[in-house]
A = this chain, B = another copy of it.
Amino acid sequence: MSDDIKHEPSTLTFNPLDPEEFRRQGYKVIDFLTEYYKSIEKYPVRSQVEPGYLQKRLPKLAPDDPESIETILKDIHNHIIPGISHWQSPNHYAYYPCSTSIAGVLGETLAAGISVVGFNWISSPAATELESIVMDWLANMLNLPKSFTFSEGQGGGGVMMGTTCEALIAIITTARDRVLNQIGCDNINKLVIYGSDQTHSSCFKSAKIAGISPNNFRSVKTTRAHAFALQPEALRAAIHSDVKKGLIPLFLCANVGTTSTSAVDPIAKLGEVAKEYNMWVHVDAAYAGNICICPEFRHVINGIESMDSFSFNAHKWFLAALDCCCVWVKDSSVLTRTLSMNPEYLKNKATESQQVVDYKDWQIALSRRFRSLKMWLVVRSYGINYLRSFLRGHVDMAAYFEEMVVMDRRFEIVVPRNFALVCFRLFPVAVISRHQKFLEEESLNELNAELLESINSAGRIYMTHTLVEGIFVLRFAVGSTLTQPHHVSYAWREIQDHTDRILARKIQSWGC
Contact across chains for B345 and A110 when beta carbons are under 8 A apart: no
Least Cβ–Cβ distance between A262 and chain B, in angstroms: 12
Least Cβ–Cβ distance between A480 and chain B, in angstroms: 9
For A19, the chain B residues whose CB sits under 8 A away are 34-35, 37-38
**CB within 8 Å of B: which of A97-113?**
98, 100-106, 108-113
Contact across chains for B30 and A26 when beta carbons are under 8 A apart: yes
A441 proximal to B (CB < 8 A): no
Contact across chains for A321 and B115 when beta carbons are under 8 A apart: yes
Least Cβ–Cβ distance between A126 and chain B, in angstroms: 3
Contact across chains for B105 and A339 when beta carbons are under 8 A apart: no
**C-alpha spacing A69/B5, complex, angstroms:** 46
A306 proximal to B (CB < 8 A): no
Give the contacting residue for A408; candidates B1, B37, B121, B260; CB below 8 A: B1
Binds B, one of A59-67, A244-252, A430-438: A59-67
Contact across chains for B34 and A23 when beta carbons are under 8 A apart: yes
Contact across chains for A54 and B125 when beta carbons are under 8 A apart: yes
| Total A residues in contact with B, Cβ cutoff 8 Å | 188
**C-alpha spacing A423/B364, complex, angstroms:** 29
Question: A5-B493, A12-B393, A55-B129 provided; 7 other pairs, C-beta below 8 A?
Answer: A2-B496, A12-B389, A16-B381, A51-B350, A169-B169, A322-B367, A345-B466
Binds B, one of A78-86, A226-234, A264-272, A273-281: A78-86
A366 proximal to B (CB < 8 A): yes
Binds B, one of A137-145, A235-243, A295-303, A328-336: A137-145
**C-alpha spacing A482/B113, complex, angstroms:** 13
**C-alpha spacing A20/B386, complex, angstroms:** 20
A510 proximal to B (CB < 8 A): no
For A141, the chain B residues whose CB sits under 8 A away are 62
Give the contacting residue for A323; candidates B21, B58, B164, B367; CB below 8 A: B367
Give the contacting residue for A133; candidates B55, B123, B189, B210; CB below 8 A: B55
Least Cβ–Cβ distance between A200 and chain B, in angstroms: 8
Contact across chains for A9 and B98 when beta carbons are under 8 A apart: no
Give the contacting residue for A381; candidates B69, B211, B367, B481; CB below 8 A: B69
A4 proximal to B (CB < 8 A): yes
Contact across chains for A53 and B125 when beta carbons are under 8 A apart: yes
Contact across chains for A125 and B338 when beta carbons are under 8 A apart: no
For A58, the chain B residues whose CB sits under 8 A away are 130, 133
Contact across chains for B14 and A126 when beta carbons are under 8 A apart: no
**C-alpha spacing A69/B107, complex, angstroms:** 11
Give the contacting residue for A64; candidates B21, B212, B260, B385; CB below 8 A: B385
Encoded as 1 (CB less than 8 Å from any B CB) or 0, chain A from 170 to 210 comes to 00010010000000011011000000000011101110111
Given A126-B54, A400-B9, also A163-B367 (CB < 8 A): yes
Given A19-B38, A113-B105, A400-B7, also A163-B492 (CB < 8 A): no
A223 proximal to B (CB < 8 A): no
**C-alpha spacing A210/B322, complex, angstroms:** 26
Least Cβ–Cβ distance between A343 and chain B, in angstroms: 4
Contact across chains for A27 and B30 when beta carbons are under 8 A apart: yes
Contact across chains for A114 and B88 when beta carbons are under 8 A apart: yes
For A163, the chain B residues whose CB sits under 8 A away are 365-367
A425 proximal to B (CB < 8 A): no
**CB within 8 Å of B: which of A405-451?**
407-408
Contact across chains for A16 and B101 when beta carbons are under 8 A apart: yes
Contact across chains for A110 and B29 when beta carbons are under 8 A apart: yes
A512 proximal to B (CB < 8 A): no
Contact across chains for B385 and A65 when beta carbons are under 8 A apart: yes
